[in-house]
Amino acid sequence: MRKKTLLAIAVVLLLAVGLAAMSAGTAAAPSSSRLGWAKPSASNAAAATAAAEAAATHARRLVLILREVDFKDFDQPPVGQPDPGDTFLFTDDAFTPAGRRVGYDQVRLTVMFREEVFAEGTFVLQGRGQIVVEGVFNFTEQRPTLAVVGGTRQFRNARGQMFILPGPTPEETKVVFALLL
């Protein structure tokens, strides 16, 4: 169950970066149910959205909705629960909140010690370039935040944060980017 939650978080992070880049000025959030995280309540989601919007006051805000396309896990012994060294790879299609496909993401999650996960992802946005995110979060976090560490083309000097939030449906994840370009 934790593996599914980690995968959902990674997908959301990657998709969030891509959609955020494609839909400047909108907000989005990812679903975190796949890897077993506690699903945020509506009030927690509202608070997370408010926090993401506040952080984006001096930044360009981008919102993406992510839908998983492919997933692969590499479960190191012991098999079952997420253990250090377990790796999850996934890719999502990225959409604007209005439903237009604007790109995709590619994400890798690696389970570390202390119930932490190292996430790294690339959001590829059609005609605009790529946004790269990475960071460490704990299994128990309901609203993980990743660092925007760079990109290409329109995003070559990108920095900022990516907030992962519940999606509009259980199968989707919303990500909100606060980008400084």
List, for residues 118-159, the tens digit of each pLDDT value. Answer: 999 999 999 999 999 999 988 777 788 899 999 999 998 889
Residue (of 127, 69, 66) closest to 97 by Cα position: 66
Structural domain for 25, as ranges: 2-180
CATH number at residue 77: 2.40.480.10
| 147-177 CB burial, b ≥16 within 10 A, e <16 | ebebbeeebeebebbbbbbbbeeeebbbbbb
Pick the more confident residue, 24 or 62: 62
| pLDDT of 39 | 44
The pTM of the whole model exceeds 0.85: no
Q: Give the count of domains, the chain.
A: 1
Residue 74, SS3? strand
